[in-house]
């Protein structure tokens, strides 16, 4: 019906322009050569364009001297103009609250920094990790794992130009593996919390069930958005469900096709620039080995259970085990295991004061 309307318009000599934010959802028939034949993608703004948009958006805003729009632009990958407008508004609100009775209130860089904490890009809305205010400092122990992730995931995403200049090829992907409940998902949430990159996150099983029959398209879509919003961290949680060893499934080949789509995306006809893929699994043995080859999830990182021996005291051990059952407080500050251990075992804070200090 709608197609016929468009056809009639076109035949009558009208120029028809359609817009959509979900091109994949548009009936392909509408894209036939005699209808909407031309497709023009309007990509997400890059840092330069965001800088320009910010300049325009902040024109009526009294900015303090310390506001560096370049830096704001650099810290807002994935933001579209509407998001930037929301950001400027939020910064303004904060400035107003701070200086209720000032004659000439100004917006400081600090207001922008604070606004950046709460305003998230809409383009990411569907797949962003819930933004817990977690940073790597909140992740107890796991020093080595944190170091590896910082070097092989965070730095390449934060300083892509430096890496390119040095001719260093950062790893395309990392697989976190280890027993359940020991912080794999938590670690990636913490990486996201540093705010240096966009994070697109999917859970293997969820993606499969939500997109029954179209999971391959969901995978392609995910990577399309990752490329658009780069620098992006793509997090494939429970990747064993998404990419099981091929040739074993009983689902008529869906799983195999999803794995194939995933590999295609990783090998990328369209290069995955500034996109790092992190997978997590409790069962690396179930993951299709092709996914772990160089150029894909090439770096394997073991997330160990809490090291009871190294800690050496039963309270710590108990606490860490409790943590592994997901009972750590949402926002631990430091040495949580021990804080919690005290509570669990009824030890007073004085008990281990020296060590804790
Ligand atoms: N190293 C850690 N430091 C602080 N909290 C942790 C740590 N490891 C696990 N936790 C807590 O345990 C919960 C479960 O961890 P999670 O990351 O979901 O485990 P999984 O490895 O199965 O993905 C987290 O939400 C977090 O609260
Ligand atoms: Mg998990």
Write down the pLDDT at residue 309. 45
For ligand 1, which residues put their CB under 6 angstroms from it? 139-142, 180-186, 280, 323, 326, 328, 332, 336
d(CA 64, CA 67): 6
Contact indicator for 153, 278 with CB cutoff of 8 Å: yes
> What token pair was written down for 94?
């904060």
Longest Cα–Cα distance in the chain: 86
Residue 329 has pLDDT above 90, yes or no: no
The mean of the pLDDT values for the chain is 78
**Of the candidates 137, 140, 138, 136, which has an alpha carbon nearest to the alpha carbon of residue 337?**
140
Residue 41 has pLDDT above 50, yes or no: yes
Q: What is the CB-side half-sphere exposure of residue 169 using CA atoms within 13 A?
A: 10
Highest mean pLDDT among 86-100, 135-149, 183-197, 316-330: 86-100
Residue nearest to atom 12 of ligand 1 (CA): 326
Task: Identify the band that residue 327 occupies on the pLDDT scale cut at 50, 70 and 90.
Answer: very low
Average pLDDT over residues 45-69: 92
| 306 CA: nearest ligand 1 atom | 1
> What token pair was written down for 174?
């990392």
d(CA 27, CA 7): 14
Write down the pLDDT at residue 133. 61
Between 119 and 63, the higher pLDDT residue? 63
d(CA 295, CA 80): 31
- The Cβ of residue 347 has, within 10 Å, a number of other Cβ atoms equal to 15
Average pLDDT over residues 168-178: 89
Residue 299 has pLDDT above 80, yes or no: yes
- E strands in 245-325: 275-281, 299-302
Helix or strand run (H / E) with residue 176: strand 173-177
Contact indicator for 261, 254 with CB cutoff of 8 Å: no
Q: What is the CB-side half-sphere exposure of residue 227 using CA atoms within 13 A?
A: 14
pLDDT in tens, 230-277: 788 899 999 998 888 888 767 777 788 888 989 999 887 666 778 899
Between 304 and 125, the higher pLDDT residue? 304
Question: Any idea which residue has 């300049």 for tokens?
Answer: 55
How many Å lie between the centroid of ligand 1 and the Cα of residue 3? 51
d(CA 320, CA 327): 9
**Which domains occur in the chain, in start order?**
2-31 (no CATH), 47-119 (1.10.8.60), 126-300 (3.40.50.300), 308-356 (no CATH)
Residue 160 has pLDDT above 50, yes or no: yes
d(CA 88, CA 104): 18
Highest mean pLDDT among 120-124, 168-172, 327-331: 168-172
Q: Give Cβ neighbours of residue 70 (< 8 Å, ≥ 6 apart).
A: 51
How many Å lie between the centroid of ligand 2 and the Cα of residue 188? 9
């Amino acid at each position: 019906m709608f197609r016929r309307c468009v056809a009639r318009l076109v035949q009558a000599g009208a120029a028809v322009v359609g817009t959509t934010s979900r091109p994949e959802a548009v009936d392909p028939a509408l894209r036939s050569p005699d209808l909407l034949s031309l497709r023009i993608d309007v990509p997400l703004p890059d840092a330069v364009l965001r800088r320009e948009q910010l300049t325009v958006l902040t024109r009526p805003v009294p900015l303090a001297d310390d506001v560096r729009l370049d830096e704001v632009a650099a810290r807002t990958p994935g933001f579209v103009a509407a998001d930037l407008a929301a950001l400027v508004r939020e910064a303004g609100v904060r400035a107003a609250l701070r200086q209720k009775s000032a004659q000439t209130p100004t917006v400081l860089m600090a207001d922008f920094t604070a606004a950046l904490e709460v305003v998230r890009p809409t383009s990411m809305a569907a797949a962003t990790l819930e933004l817990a205010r977690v940073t790597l400092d909140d992740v107890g122990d796991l020093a080595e794992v944190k170091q590896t992730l910082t070097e092989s995931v965070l730095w390449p995403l934060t300083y892509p130009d430096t890496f390119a200049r040095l001719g260093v090829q950062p790893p395309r992907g990392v697989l976190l593996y280890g027993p359940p409940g020991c912080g794999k998902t938590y670690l990636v949430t913490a990486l996201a919390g540093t705010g240096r990159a966009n994070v697109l996150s999917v859970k293997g099983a969820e993606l499969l069930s939500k997109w029954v029959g179209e999971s391959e398209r969901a995978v392609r879509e995910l990577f399309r958005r990752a490329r658009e919003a780069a620098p992006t961290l793509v997090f494939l949680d429970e990747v064993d469900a998404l990419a099981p060893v091929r040739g074993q499934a009983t689902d008529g080949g869906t799983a195999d096709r999803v794995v194939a789509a995933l590999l295609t995306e990783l090998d990328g006809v369209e290069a995955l620039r500034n996109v790092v893929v992190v997978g997590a699994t409790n069962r690396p043995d179930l993951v299709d080995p092709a996914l772990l080859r160089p150029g894909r999830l090439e770096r394997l990182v073991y997330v160990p259970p809490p090291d009871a021996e190294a800690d050496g005291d039963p309270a710590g051990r108990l606490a860490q085990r409790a943590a592994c059952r997901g009972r750590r407080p949402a926002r631990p500050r430091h040495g949580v295991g021990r804080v919690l251990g005290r509570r669990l075992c009824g030890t007073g804070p004085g008990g281990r004061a020296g060590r804790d200090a």
